[in-house]
A and B are shown apart, each in its own frame.
Chain A
Amino acid sequence: MALMADVLAPQDAFDPVALNLLDGFAHPMERGMGSNMLFVMGSDEQGRDIFSALFYGTRLSLLVGVASVIFSMVLGIGLGLLAGYLGGKIEMLIMRVADIQLSFPAILIALLIFGVARGLIPPQQYETTAVFVIIIAIGLSNWAQYARTVRASTLVERNKEYVQAAKLMGISGFGIMARHVLPNVMGPVLVIATINLALAIIEEATLSFLGVGLPITQPSLGTLIRSGQKFLLSGEWWILFFPAMMLVILALAINLLGDWLRDALNPKLR
């Protein structure tokens, strides 16, 4: 639903032309004083409809979450397979880097990468590249978990007899990894991926909340929460409440989806 924000949202919440300052601080289920529009979840100080803003925010949060998870998954699975299958020095190198990374909180790493990227990119281009930068920052901060899990499962699968049988057929190491080992290590990876999707969305929200994430012109749930917290103490609770609830519901829904997905992909349960 959030993906179709453009169509569904009653108001184009982030086009300044559509906003009417007189609608500001409308309570939930109240009609605005300027445009007489119904604000189901109230509005903020600029007369922005929170309900509409949620659609846009969720869409962006999901985009950032999914993209960063895919990024870290591809990176982590690739390195984990390599480490588990080849062993030796390559394994040592990859796993030590992963260990070092895991000993820092992911959010710190994301902050660091984000900071470096911001220094490198000229400010004019900042708004257009911000989304990519945050995807890569969150992605890079999470790959180590995948690499570790994949390596552990690869070590188990590598010694199973079906892999030995494939070796006897003269199938190359790459072929064995891609066709035999990979599908069998995906189970635990998908579980981590769904947990991480929720975490990535929260991480993005945290970064945006801290003010280092997406600019206010591209608001994600985190940005919305940040702008909302200013008004919490002055009684306009809804500006903060609805985006925060949305974040919780989203994280929960993703976790349930993950459980279902894992069962659905297991041929033994089909």
Chain B
Amino acid sequence: MSPRPYVEVTDLKKTFDVSKPWLNRVLEGAPRQYLKAVDGVSFDIRKGETFALVGESGSGKSTVARMVVGLLNPTGGEVTIDGISMTDPGQRAQRAKLRRKMQMVFQDPYASLNPRWRVDRIIAEPIRAFNVVEGEANIVARVGELLTLVGLHPDDGKKFPHEFSGGQRQRVAIARSLASNADFIVCDEPTSALDVSVQAQILNLMRDLQEKFGLTYLFISHNLAVVRHMATRIGVMYLGRLVEVSDAKEMFTHPRHPYTRMLLDAVPDLAMSGRARIPVAGEIPNPITPPTGCTFHPRCPLANERCKAENPLPINGVACHAVVEGRTLAHPVAA
């Protein structure tokens, strides 16, 4: 019997009201419009692992991340972290304690640090907010320690964020997320704003820190190669739904959902091995008026009548009628 997962997400839903302003609706007779950004997503994360959510723009992966940490209120479903519900209003007090255990690293290192604060004050903010250490001298010492930990110099604390490069800023953001001794860190595209050589530094740093402190990561990315490097398990999202969840190795060697396969085939091939690939068809539809049934069916080479009518539920981590029924496409290896 495996222990209870650290993070449990059950049937999470988020609907945004994207209606036009009231006056336009009245004049044009347009109805209210809703965008189902996240539609029934369930997964769990074990302690010490890296769970990655991948997907293209509009897949709802960032919305899930924000709901998990509590920056957005879900329309439905539940998030439980370390046995404490993030959504149950009765567990407010326990949730306050949980706050210091989880932090977030954001995509844009230029927007995630207050431009008018010096770096030491930025890193000290969570220390002060959660009373992690007492006394000004101890706080200074702790900030210096954190800066060293992420590969910066303690003297760098006296600088403003704009004096740093993108990669160094992301290091500061990581130091801030560790300041309250957090053990669960949600990373929303942490390297997509960085250059490759700097991305490698940050990814290596994140792995080192995970090893050192036993951190648990929820890693959001659109870059499959980065996810391949970081993740223990992977969830693939398409138009607000989770279409496949599997172990990282499995995912890359035996992708099951047709969308996962298409994504893998779309990644440029650096090794130039000339591996056989199914050409990618179509684009993501408008999420306000998603296709019926399985939302992927207009682009899917395996789609049939059932896929157009019935939304597939995840079975063994894959939400696809074709996989369950054993329908397969002759893979164009010979072609």
Contacts and interface: CB of A to CB of B under 8 A. Distances in A.
Task: Tell me if chain B binds chain A.
Answer: yes
Interface of A: 160-162, 164-171, 180, 183-184, 267-268
A186 to B, nearest CB: 9
Interface of B is mostly: loop
Contact of A168 (B103, B115, B162): B103
B180 interface: yes
Contact of A183 (B96, B99, B116, B173): B116
A180 B115 contact: no
Interface of B: 69-71, 96, 99-100, 102-104, 106-108, 111-116, 125-126, 129-130, 160, 162, 173, 176, 180
Nearest to B159: A267
Contacts of A169: 99-100, 125-126, 129-130, 180
B126 A162 contact: no
Contacts of B116: 183-184, 267
A168 B67 CA distance: 12
A166 B104 contact: no
Nearest to B177: A165
B252 to A, nearest CB: 30
A171 B96 CA distance: 11
Contacts of B70: 168
A171 B129 contact: yes
A170 B99 contact: yes
B194 to A, nearest CB: 15
Contacts of B129: 169-171
Contacts of A165: 103-104, 106, 112, 173, 176
Contacts of B115: 184, 267-268
A165 B180 CA distance: 12
A247 B130 CA distance: 53
B190 to A, nearest CB: 11
Given A160-B111, A180-B114, A166 B162 contact: no
B162 A268 contact: yes
A161 B188 CA distance: 11
Nearest to B179: A169
Nearest to B176: A165
18 contacts: A160-B111, A160-B112, A161-B108, A162-B112, A164-B104, A165-B176, A168-B99, A168-B102, A169-B130, A170-B100, A170-B130, A171-B125, A180-B114, A183-B114, A183-B116, A184-B115, A267-B162, A268-B162
A174 to B, nearest CB: 14
